[in-house]
Amino acid sequence: MRAGKRGLFAVAVTVVCAVTVLGAPGTAFASPSPTPSPSVTTPPPAPEPNKDLEAVREKLDALYHDAAVATDAYNGAEEKAEKQSAEIVELAKKIVEGRERLDELKDRAGAAARSQYRTGGLPDEAQLMLSDDPQGFLDGAGRVRQGQRATKGLLGELTRTQQDLEQYSKDASAQWQKLESNRKDKAEAQKKIEKQIAEAKKVESQLAKKEKERLAELEQEAAHKAQTAWLDSGALEEVDGKATEQGKKAVKYATEQIGKPYEWGAEGPVSYDCSGLTSQAWATAGHGIPRTSQEQWRQLRHIDTKDMRPGDLIIYFADASHVALYIGDGAMIHAPRPGRNVTIAGAGSMPILGVVRPGA
Active site residues: 274, 322, 334
Can you tell me the distance from the alpha carbon of 53 to that of 31, in angstroms, rounded to the nearest whole number? Answer: 53
Bridge partner list, 334: 343
**Pairing mode of beta strands 301-303, 313-316:** unpaired
CA neighbor of 258 nearest in space, from 357, 354, 325? 325
Can you tell me the distance from the alpha carbon of 277 to that of 333, in angstroms, rounded to the nearest whole number? Answer: 9
Can you tell me the distance from the alpha carbon of 40 to that of 111, in angstroms, rounded to the nearest whole number? Answer: 111
Q: Is 328 left (phi over 0), alpha (psi -120 to 50) or beta?
A: left
How many Å is the Cα radius of gyration of the chain?
39
Can you tell me the distance from the alpha carbon of 68 to that of 293, in angstroms, rounded to the nearest whole number? Answer: 10
Phi, psi of 262 (to 5 degrees): -75, 140
CA neighbor of 334 nearest in space, from 175, 201, 223? 223
Can you tell me the distance from the alpha carbon of 236 to that of 259, in angstroms, rounded to the nearest whole number? Answer: 27
